[in-house]
Structure 1
Amino acid sequence: KQSNSGGAFAPAFGINVEVLPDTFVYASYTQGLRMPSLFETSQGVLQTTPGKGLKPERSSSWEIGASTLHKGLLLDNDSAAIKLAYFNNSIKNYITRYYDPSPGLMGQMRFSNTDSYKTSGLELQSHYDAGRVFADFSSTYYLKTETCDSAFAARLRASSNRYRDLSNTPDCTPGSFMGSYSNTQNPPRFSANLTSGLRFFDQSLTVGGRATYSSGPTVKADENWQTGATTPQLVYREVALFDLFLNYKLKEHTHLNVSLQNLTDRYYLDPLAQSFMPAPGRTLRVGVLTKF
């Protein structure tokens, strides 16, 4: 198909209530539209059939939370802020690629619309700054990732045989179905990031460190209807990483940046990895940024 077009109304609503000075509760709802991409509708390799008649994706996102900001919490000139939120995202007609094991189509992959793809979870963000000392902490906990596709699930049940039992394939499954990119893109169940540091010489020198933790994926996609000949989920392991950084203001518009990443030289796969290529080991980076 040489051209494709579409459109829709994508509203966004929100309410923010100040229950105490600088303390708020809020709720927001947004919709979005994404047209099928060139990658999803064109022929790249012989084994992948481009999607035909693909519908645009339609997203609906809810977020409910609370936030507060305080000054003079521990010291006269400090500030502290924290926000906790619940999110629930649903994408109708989510576009993904499947591996089709149906007789006569063995090995063929095609793009199609699922019924929906859903995620939900909790987010925490916090910040403390006292001039000389600062710290940021954030974390995300996923409650669910789920794909629903009654048409493809029916195809899998129909292709069940004595060598591969797919008779109990559900219409909705955590993660996704066989050959789907959603299996490899399953986010960590829990992730957290702590950054803290010190400022010296009238804040011209900043030194600090960062600790990052990520667990394994939200779900392990290892059921018969989730595993196939291609695009298997790489079950990355939990990992804790530590970095050091330095920023020094040499002149008004010139800064020196130094970072030492993966301080303990951990051997690991990045979350959402799609190959067995490990992440970089201990890495030192030095750079100078100037504006003129």
Structure 2
Amino acid sequence: TFSKILDSFSSRSDFFYTLKCEEPLKPEESKDWELGFNIFKESLFFDNDRLGIKVSYFDNRIKNFSFMRYAVAMPEAPIPSLTDLTYANNLEDTRFRGVEYQLNYDMGRAYTNLSYTHMIGSNDFCSPDYFMGGAKKSGKTLKSVIERYTRPDGTTGIRSVREYEWLDDPERNGRIGCGAIMGNAAYMPADRGSLTVGARFLERRLDTGVRLRYSPGNGKDLNAHSYKSLEQAMWPKYSVYDLYASYWMTDDLNITLVMENATDEAYFVAMGDVNNLSMARGRTLSGMLEYKF
């Protein structure tokens, strides 16, 4: 945090003595719990087939969650500035919770795996406007004088100059702002899931299949994006297909080929934000040779 602030404000003459007023970020404290159940059944429809079902609810609660806050005020600044940013602790508890579903069915010759994660709720992000303190207000007049000055054109004039007390402002120092967050924590991660369908051949030495990776996005439309709301974190929906094949040529030698994103889909992986979107990998072919000895 100090290095980012130094880079941004090293040109300010009043910065270095006000830096001493800043309190360091508090460490994050997380309390996590998960509750679920598993169902496993063999020989349900056919001899030796297997069905597995898992449902679980998870709840991660984080105290002092660190986030990028914009529109903060430096010490002695009259008002918060939109261009001043800092990492701050969230005064509200940050909560990430949801439900995970898994279904696995294997009948030997063919199998399928389904998983899906559904996120629940939203978060508020609040922190002091004057994150380093130092808000000031004018008090009583200390001195009032008339002074002579020179104008740019060389002529002289007179003006009234007053000096005021410069007092701490507890009200503004205690002011809390909410919602001014940048980055991918602004919204819950998008829901996401996958479906795998596979089959085995050649006395089950050859295992082939296709996997669908899917996310419905978080309901935001990139085409309608506006920088009036800097905190927007967006994950458009996507559907990506992977192909794979694994063949045991002997009991000790295996060759595996995987083609990810077989249709060369252009998409963003969930947890990107609109100010830093980077494309996921395009069509990618990888292989592995395994030998046991």
Contact 2:102 2:114 in 1 (8 A): yes
Question: How many angstroms does 1:270 deviate by?
Answer: 1.7
Question: How many angstroms does 1:53 deviate by?
Answer: 2.6
* 1:178 pairs with 2:178: no
Specify which of 80, 104, 108 is matched with residue 84 of structure 2.
108
Question: How many angstroms does 1:205 deviate by?
Answer: 1.3
Encode CA deviations 1:266-290: one digit per residue, 9 max, x unaligned.
Answer: 2222212243332233332233233
Encode CA deviations 1:103-161: one digit per residue, 9 max, x unaligned.
Answer: 37553322221122112221101111122212111101111131342535999xx9xxx
Alignment match, 2:153: none
How many residue pairs get aligned? The number is 232
Contact 1:186 1:219 in 2 (8 A): no
**What residue identity is the alignment partner of 1:121?**
G
Contact 1:254 1:290 in 2 (8 A): yes
**What residue identity is the alignment partner of 2:249?**
L
Alignment match, 2:245: 246
Q: Give the structure-1-normalised TM-score.
A: 0.66
Q: Partners in 2 of 1:238 and 1:96 — Cα distance?
A: 25
* 1:259 pairs with 2:258: yes
Q: Partners in 1 of 2:3 and 2:37 — Cα distance?
A: 47
SS in 2 for 1:123: strand
Q: Partners in 1 of 2:56 and 2:68 — Cα distance?
A: 32
Q: Partners in 1 of 2:239 and 2:130 — Cα distance?
A: 37
Q: Partners in 1 of 2:256 and 2:94 — Cα distance?
A: 41
Alignment match, 2:128: 151
Question: How many angstroms does 1:214 deviate by?
Answer: 0.2
Alignment match, 2:152: none
Alignment match, 1:142: 119
Specify which of 34, 42, 55 is matched with residue 63 of structure 1.
34
Q: 1:249 to 1:109 in 2, by over 3 A?
A: same
Q: 1:224 to 1:287 in 2, by over 3 A?
A: closer
Question: How many angstroms does 1:100 deviate by?
Answer: 3.0
* 1:43 pairs with 2:3: yes
Q: Which has the larger radius of gyration?
A: 2
Unaligned runs of 5+ in 1: 1-40, 159-169
Unaligned runs of 5+ in 2: 11-18, 74-78, 136-175
Contact 1:62 1:88 in 2 (8 A): yes
Q: Partners in 2 of 1:252 and 1:69 — Cα distance?
A: 29
Q: How much is the aligned-residue C-alpha RMSD, in angstroms?
A: 3.7
Question: How many angstroms does 1:191 deviate by?
Answer: 1.7
SS in 1 for 2:85: strand
Contact 2:109 2:199 in 1 (8 A): yes
Specify which of 180, 186, 189 is matched with residue 187 of structure 1.
189
Contact 2:238 2:267 in 1 (8 A): yes
Q: Partners in 2 of 1:234 and 1:247 — Cα distance?
A: 38
